[in-house]
Amino acid sequence: MTHEVLARKWRPQTFDEVVGQDHVTQTLSNAITSERLAHAYLFGGPRGVGKTSVARILAKALNCKQRNGANPCNQCTSCREITEGYSVDVQEIDGASNRGIDEIRELRENIKYMPQSGTYRIYIIDEVHMLTLQAFNALLKTLEEPPEHVKFIFATTEPRKVPVTILSRCQRFDFKRIPHEAIVAYLEKITQQEGIEIGRAELGLIAREADGSMRDAQSLLDQVVSSLGPKVSGQDILDILGVVDTALMFETSEAVLRGDQSRCLEIVEHIYNAGYDIKSFYRALMEQFRNLLISLICPNHSAAEMAESDLKEARRQAERAGVEKLEAILNLLIKREEDLRLTSHPRLLLETVLIRLCNLGQYLSFEEVIRKIENLEKRLTRQAVQETPGQAPNRKAPSQQPKQRPATQETWEKFLSFVHSKDKIMANILHQWQFLGMEGNTLTLAKGIEPFSSTYFDEPGRKKALLGYCKGFYGRDIHIEMVEPEREAGTRQEEQSPPESKKGGVNIELSPAVKRLVDTFEGKIILEETNEGGKR
């Protein structure tokens, strides 16, 4: 006797048997019973979620002679012919292999003929997005005003590739991924009817690998039963599907959260030697930490596609890690996923990612960083207003007043680095000025010699920005006294003049101005020998 695969044997034959698409089946049922039928329908959604099956059920319901409400009887001649695939009135066309304009022209010629036994001639075009643009254009007029006895049903996994002119002429239904629990429940029904002994946890693994596709889940179940027989154990199904045991995934997440780099590398070696696919393990690791995060944020939410027995351990690990750390782990895994797809050394990349994840625990959390910044601001504020209690300020001895920051050249250099991180142009201008000293809240600077440099802060907006940087660096309001460069002419001239080389030329490598330009634009100096023996 010929074996019939589970995906065909358990294909739904009525609207009531369709799993996870109630929003579609209910609408179509109401349209049939109220006789408010459209001339064209478009079913879009992922693979294996019931698009073609619903199209066949709709075709049977429209031509059924003994319809029970909206559901076909599946007993009349028309229903049996459609189910077995040789109905003259219902034609299924593969859009991938019949995609040209010639096939559409032939279809346009055939729709003129009346149905032989049913009420309608129905054309089901699967993967309609594969039709050429010329074929779509040839179909437009027919689709807009088809004969009353013709219905079109289009199915596609890529609705966005269907021209808008076609979409506007159809009633569109978007099929969803089938929920994890719905797939498990339907697989349980199949195994009970087929006499297959398999646990719910193992069915959960199959449903997880199916990723929302009922057809994929049925095919995987068929593969497992064909390999292992009617009695299926947990470890055997893991080997067949090539997935890592849930216990090992929890052990991996535990090692990462604990920062145990050695154990993480041992796990990588184990899965590599066992023949598991590194990229599949990486995706499972992302799913593992995603489930940990979901179990922490929504403890009663079904979005964490895990068995009930695993949720307790997931919540325990998640509560110890916290939302911020789990989010940081997932962000890193997502960023490196593309690298894993392209690399020719997946094991090495996985090891480096796990080591990086282990080190995430050594960094401060977001709350801790904010708390430290607030404490630092409070400490700086206290220092800014601190005075000796019980004593009046001695105005005759300003040198004895406490200073919040030492007025030294080193502090000035740090301030220039601070400004450089905010405004590189302003920092370069200040490099041409000279720090003369700081008394109390007054900062004294000598202007630069160059005209542009000396007048740069004459614009109020620039000076206001400089005062803002001073306040951000020194922690208090600062008054800036800008004096003419003549007060320090000797020093400034010496600083501005680049040193000469031993051969009498100018050594531009030691020029402060050149160094600042090189640092700003991340360049390098190229020296050339001149005819006079010097460098330029």
For residue 490, the model assigns a pLDDT of: 45
Q: d(Cα 418, Cα 421) in Å, to the nearest integer? A: 5
- Give the residue from 482, 510, 529 where a domain finishes: 482
> Is 262 found in the same domain as 158?
no
Segment 476-497 mean pLDDT = 63
**Token pair 């003369």: residue:** 436
* Residue 526, domain member (yes or no): no
Identify the H or E element spanning 280.
helix 278-297
Q: d(Cα 252, Cα 355) in Å, to the nearest integer? A: 12
For residue 46, the model assigns a pLDDT of: 93
> Is 68 found in the same domain as 91?
yes
* Residue 528, domain member (yes or no): no
Q: What's the mean pLDDT when you consider all of the chain? A: 81
Indicate the number of domains in the chain.
4
Q: Is the pLDDT of residue 45 over 90?
A: yes
Task: Give CA angle at 61 (55, 67), nearest 5°.
Answer: 160
Which residues neighbour 109 within 8 Å (Cβ) at sequence distance 6 or greater? none
Q: d(Cα 286, Cα 28) in Å, to the nearest integer? A: 38
Segment 120-146 mean pLDDT = 89
- What's the token pair of residue 335? 């960023």
For residue 1, the model assigns a pLDDT of: 53
> Is 443 found in the same domain as 348?
no
For residue 489, the model assigns a pLDDT of: 41
Q: How far is CA 132 from the centre of its chain?
A: 32
For residue 408, the model assigns a pLDDT of: 67
The CATH number for 255's domain is: 1.20.272.10
pLDDT tens for residues 278-298?
988 999 899 899 989 988 888
| pTM for this predicted structure | 0.62
* Residue 374, domain member (yes or no): no
Q: d(Cα 466, Cα 478) in Å, to the nearest integer? A: 10
> Is 91 found in the same domain as 195?
no
For residue 488, the model assigns a pLDDT of: 43
Q: Are the CB atoms for 16 and 71 separated by under 8 Å?
A: yes
pLDDT tens for residues 221-237?
988 888 888 787 777 78
3-state secondary structure at position 439: strand
The CATH number for 429's domain is: 3.30.300.180
DSSP code, position 527 = -
For residue 300, the model assigns a pLDDT of: 67
The residue with greater pLDDT, 520 or 142, is 142
> Is 251 found in the same domain as 145?
no
Q: How far is CA 44 from the centre of its chain?
A: 23
Q: Hey, how many other C-beta atoms are within 10 angstroms of the C-beta on 264?
A: 22
* Residue 506, domain member (yes or no): no
> Is 274 found in the same domain as 226?
no
For residue 475, the model assigns a pLDDT of: 81
The residue with greater pLDDT, 23 or 366, is 23
* Residue 46, domain member (yes or no): yes
Q: d(Cα 181, Cα 204) in Å, to the nearest integer? A: 8
* Residue 28, domain member (yes or no): yes
Which regions of 265-410 does DSSP assign to beta strands (E)? none
pLDDT tens for residues 170-207?
999 999 999 988 999 999 999 999 888 888 888 888 88
Sheet holding 171-174, edge to edge: 90-94, 121-126, 150-156, 40-44, 171-174
For residue 487, the model assigns a pLDDT of: 46
- What's the token pair of residue 489? 């002419």
Q: How far is CA 519 from the centre of its chain?
A: 36
Q: Is the pLDDT of residue 113 over 70?
A: yes
* Residue 510, domain member (yes or no): no
The CATH number for 150's domain is: 3.40.50.300
> Is 289 found in the same domain as 230?
no
Work out the pLDDT band at 403, boundaries 50, 70, 90: very low
User: Which of the given ranges, 142-146, 365-369, 525-529, has the highest pLDDT on average?
Assistant: 142-146
Which regions of 341-472 does DSSP assign to beta strands (E)? 434-439, 442-446
> Is 144 found in the same domain as 22?
yes
From residue 36, alpha-carbon distances to 13, 25, 27, 144, 506 in Å are 22, 14, 10, 17, 92
Q: d(Cα 449, Cα 484) in Å, to the nearest integer? A: 9
3-state secondary structure at position 229: coil
- Give the residue from 174, 194, 219 where a domain finishes: 174
Segment 330-338 mean pLDDT = 92
For residue 382, the model assigns a pLDDT of: 61
Q: Is the pLDDT of residue 380 over 80?
A: no
> Is 417 found in the same domain as 339?
no
Among residues 450, 439, 438, 464, the alpha carbon closest in space to that of 492 is found at: 450
From residue 75, alpha-carbon distances to 6, 120, 529 in Å are 22, 18, 99
- Give the residue from 241, 266, 289 where a domain finishes: 241
The residue with greater pLDDT, 296 or 501, is 296
For residue 369, the model assigns a pLDDT of: 65
Q: Is the pLDDT of residue 399 over 50?
A: no
The CATH number for 231's domain is: 1.10.8.60
Segment 379-408 mean pLDDT = 51
Segment 428-452 mean pLDDT = 81
> Is 199 found in the same domain as 261?
no
Give 37-91 as a 3 state SS string: CCCEEEEECCCCCCHHHHHHHHHHHHHCCCCECCECCCCCHHHHHHHHCCCCCEE
> Is 145 found in the same domain as 27?
yes
Q: Which domain holds residue 116?
A: 6-174
Q: d(Cα 30, Cα 174) in Å, to the nearest integer? A: 17
> Is 140 found in the same domain as 124?
yes
Return the minimum-mean-pLDDT range out of 219-223, 342-346, 397-401, 523-527. 397-401
* Residue 64, domain member (yes or no): yes
